[in-house]
Chain A
């Protein structure tokens, strides 16, 4: 028989609707990505909140990969620690995969793997995938691909996923290609029909339509950031491929090619260069920023390290550019397809000498979009390299979001003097603090005025941009740069603060940890622990941080790194409160989950 009930006498238990996680274990390069997207989108289109995570190896084909879909009626979209439904398609990992399940979980697997022999306390659905695939196509290669759609059909039947939504998702996935759509729809049908006739439902999971995703979009953070860059009016893009940042520039390039060709001349309003390395990429971005372009580059940790000397140069000579760091696990090659937040401190202080940088910390795909746009404004306003720090989880995974809003503020190019401005002023000193905010004025090369030119140098320079080694000139320059950084505090995105009256415990987190923290706070509340929450959205710190810390007895700093980097930065900022902080550190390469945060805080509170 294909269906095996549990050994135990336990019944199916009470029904669980719209609250479970599905994990598909496959081999990378096997084409399962489309099926997984279809599965996720179909549920999403039924109005049920979902999130999708691809856990993949640093390899092109043949190694195990896992795709996890979390379905949650309450809208929690962080990673869920335990898998409820495993689709164990990969013989290499099937035994481990099924061993990792909680008792009572569901396992769908090819019949020949005989996984029921491995775990008898799991609910098995064993499917003759090979036999079904042979019905789906005569072509051996296609059969392999279509097997993926067959499991979609099986799951659809078991969970009661609306076929109409699957049809729509497949049409979308295969972008109107009729033949591919037919083949895939047929494969789903084969799976669904086989399941209907042969499987007896022995688990408690199912989906039911809701109205919680109406008007929402699904996008990954890199594409969202790419969109933000396009709407920011980026004109020069430089990059060097590296996981997990490549798809940021790749999607940006696609958007630019489609939407940034000047209609009148049919020519591009942008230039993209794939540089020879990150050192060149940031050099180009700085050269372009200096000459007046809205420039950017995107990379991950190893690239950030290479950019170090140039970024200090950009800080010291005051050149705007935007640098995205889609963080992955380091040091060195580390685990390039796993997520991390461990670049925070080194990026904030990147380069030698006294340097510190404005870093924006998006906590959702929407913020990837918004802060990408914001970063260009801030970079040009403050004439300095600005970092946007996301991570693999945010950047490469699919997230549900409100649709993005069109920018409401016009593009602000900062303090740039034209020939006419110079004529009126009768004077120009590149590095003088004219307005008392630490931000000087600049001119662009090509300015047709005798006062227009100045010399940019990484060596000591006076207010007039001439060479100097005089102590007082250097002090003026460094103190003005510090003042400029102070001014920036009023312009970077402020933290999002939720202060709960009476709560003694505060939580601070940033970036992709937000999803887990939000869910954890609800869990803690259920356990009777009220918490306040400050989600940091930028460095430098702003006044809200001190207020928040002062208002709580203990503050948990949740971050995805080993060395409590954010906690240490906060301690430097607020030394008087340094005993208040406790760390929740998640750094195994997987996205942080709510249970982990909750357990750590409960333990910390001695509950």
Chain B
């Protein structure tokens, strides 16, 4: 007799959070991120049917098919996932939205929509699986490629990269993290924390493309990222239903309370980083670029921002399924409008 598989707090097993088998290249960073999404949602005990998985177009954008089979998925058009997510969020404010995009999908064709999603603060997790290239169209540079990074063909990138984290902070995003597909612990903690954030949570995750951008001379390869990754802090996430109190040496831990009562603990490493300081965060990102450092962790958090859906001040029920009695005014209303027009 085999033992029953373990279950989470709502009685579901890990495989209830899985999706269809991946069709990506073996070793693709995107698959590693998928695994952490599955883990994080399982461990948090989020009802999968209440999740909506959104994406654009690209290898990365295919991945929502590979997790949370019990959630509706929406593979939209290239670069336009933000608008679709915005509409879905307004139609049903009880959905948990998770979006997966690529650096091409977000930083090139979709940059405008990304900016406006962040500006509106649409409640969702927005993961950019960043490999510095367009994987699906066979390895052209994307707008996040670093200056001096080389394609396999030897072509060198000469344009400066767009830093999506810096941009998100600039646009007022209340949750911005950067991680690496090869750092599962940190990534998982960030995804869990992002799931508790009420507003847009942007995670820029370096996710090597083993087929087109994992060679010597690439700054988005496993080797480069592994060697260069410098975590800003050690990151712990304590969900609201699991409050444990641990005493830390004063001054070594920054604790941030999330909207739902969950907590993020940021344990200091050698550097003293304050994730609630917006200007400091932008400075750190700029400096890291100049010094060719690869900093990961929770770059910025602000739990006190209104999200767009709350600002709309709609009824508690989801707009999608309101009954006719709430959406069609009575005959008297039409008649009085007609009188005024006579």
Contact = CB atoms under 8 A, between A and B. Distances in A.
A286 interface: yes
Nearest to B341: A217
A321 to B, nearest CB: 9
A281 B70 CA distance: 28
A230 interface: yes
Nearest to B70: A453
Interface stretch (B247-255, B298-306, B314-322): B314-322
Nearest to B54: A287
Contact of B87 (A231, A232, A276, A286): A286
Contacts of B74: 287, 290, 455-456
A283 B80 contact: yes
Interface in A439-464: 443-450, 452-459
Interface stretch (A80-88, A90-98, A156-164, A257-265): A257-265
B319 A273 contact: no
A378 interface: no
A282 B84 CA distance: 8
Interface string A282-299: 111111111111110000
Contact of B324 (A410, A449, A459): A410
A595 to B, nearest CB: 30
Nearest to B330: A406
A219 B319 contact: no
A449 B333 CA distance: 39
A218 B341 CA distance: 6
B324 A310 contact: no
Contacts of A265: 315-316
A288 B87 contact: yes
Given A235-B320, A295-B87, A456-B75, A450 B70 contact: yes
Q: Which among A267, A290, A294 has the highest number of chain B CB atoms within 10 Å?
A: A290
Contacts of B324: 233, 410-411
Contact of A309 (B69, B77, B331): B77
A219 B91 contact: no
Contacts of A457: 65, 73, 75
B334 A406 contact: yes
Interface in B71-124: 71-77, 80, 82-92, 94-95, 112-113, 116
B328 interface: yes
Contact of A287 (B87, B313, B334): B87
B91 A295 contact: yes
A313 interface: yes
Contacts of B319: 235-236, 269-271, 288, 293
Contacts of B86: 273, 280, 283-284, 287
Contact of A406 (B89, B95, B331): B331
A276 B116 contact: yes
B187 to A, nearest CB: 24
Interface string A5-44: 0000000000000000000000000000000000000000
A166 to B, nearest CB: 16
10 contacts: A233-B324, A255-B337, A279-B80, A283-B86, A287-B84, A411-B328, A445-B95, A456-B75, A457-B73, A458-B75
Interface of A: 215-219, 227, 230-236, 238, 255, 259-260, 262, 265, 267-271, 273, 275-277, 279-295, 309-310, 313, 403-404, 406-407, 410-411, 443-450, 452-459, 466-467
Given A233-B322, A277-B112, A453-B49, 16 more contacts: A238-B87, A268-B314, A271-B312, A271-B319, A276-B113, A283-B87, A285-B87, A294-B327, A406-B331, A407-B328, A445-B72, A446-B92, A448-B47, A452-B72, A453-B70, A458-B76
